[in-house]
């Protein structure tokens, strides 16, 4: 799409633009496998931006930014009605640029944190949906179904590590109500949460 934008606004080398002009005069070009999907996509995403039709933006950097924002807006609208993503929707109701955890500890801890935001995670409750041989309750306290919320917030087996995590979070975000949403989505406390995961996994 960015390439087509550059061609339309004559920001390609002259020889390429000359060839494009020749092709454009051929009606087959407008239905080609390159041009038509790009134009169709640009027109489609233009409906999700206040900038009007995206091809009317002359600056390539501004076009790229507006196109990217329009894509996130479209995804956010579709996400509201996506039944398969209800678990993740609770934590990330809006599509927007997000930073993945920095590699401050093991890849396993990073992966565990990311998967905790998904329905397909590492808990017994999810494993039970795949194979009933897995008992869905927490393997440590046995009294409650094992979910990310239970592991991070409620399991008495992890209470010592949990209290340490909560106190460190409160130093960064005073008087914070510590919820599973906060734990999974707030970048400022990411190292603390990753440390908790590393401790309970050791």
Q: According to the model, what pLDDT value does residue 171 have?
A: 95
Tens of pLDDT, residues 163-173: 999 999 999 99
Task: Kindly write down the DSSP assignment for every residue of the chain, as one continuous string.
Answer: -HHHHHHHTT-S-HHHHHHHHHHHTSGGGGGSTTHHHHHHHHHHHGGG-TTSSGGG---HHHHHHHHHHHHHHHHHHHHTT-GGGHHHHHH--S----PPPPSSS-HHHHHHHHHHTSSS-SSHHHHHHH-TTS--B-TTT-SSB--HHIIIII-GGGHHHHHHHHHHHHHHSTT----HHHHHH-GGGHHHHHHHHHHHH-
The pLDDT of residue 151 is above 90: yes
Residue 121's pLDDT band (boundaries 50, 70, 90)?
confident
The pLDDT of residue 89 is above 60: yes
Q: What is the mean pLDDT of the chain?
A: 83
To the nearest whole percent, how much of the chain has pLDDT over 70?
A: 84
The predicted model gives 80-98 an average pLDDT of: 77
Structural contact between residues 165 and 195, judged by C-beta atoms closer than 8 angstroms? yes
The predicted model gives 171-179 an average pLDDT of: 91
Residue 157's pLDDT band (boundaries 50, 70, 90)?
very high
Q: Domain boundaries in the chain?
A: 2-81, 107-201
Q: According to the model, what pLDDT value does residue 176 have?
A: 86
Tens of pLDDT, residues 18-41: 655 565 565 655 666 667 788 889
């Amino acid at each position: 799409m960015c390439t087509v934008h550059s061609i339309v606004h004559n920001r390609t080398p002259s020889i390429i633009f000359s060839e494009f002009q020749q092709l454009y005069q051929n009606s087959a070009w407008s239905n080609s496998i390159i041009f038509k999907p790009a134009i169709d996509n640009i027109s489609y995403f233009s409906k999700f931006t206040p900038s009007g039709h995206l091809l009317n933006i002359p600056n390539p950097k501004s076009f790229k930014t507006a196109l990217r924002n329009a894509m996130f807006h479209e995804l956010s609208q579709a996400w509201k009605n996506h039944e398969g993503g209800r678990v993740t929707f609770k934590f990330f109701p809006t599509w927007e640029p997000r930073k993945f955890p920095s590699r401050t500890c093991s890849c396993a801890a990073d992966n565990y944190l990311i998967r905790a935001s998904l329905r397909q995670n590492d808990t017994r409750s999810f494993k039970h949906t795949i194979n009933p041989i897995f008992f869905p309750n927490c393997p440590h306290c046995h009294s409650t179904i094992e979910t990310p919320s239970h592991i991070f917030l409620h399991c008495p087996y992890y209470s010592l590590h949990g209290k340490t995590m909560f106190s460190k979070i409160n130093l960064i975000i005073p008087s914070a109500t510590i919820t599973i949403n906060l734990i999974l989505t707030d970048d400022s406390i990411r190292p603390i949460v990753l440390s908790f995961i590393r401790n309970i996994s050791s």
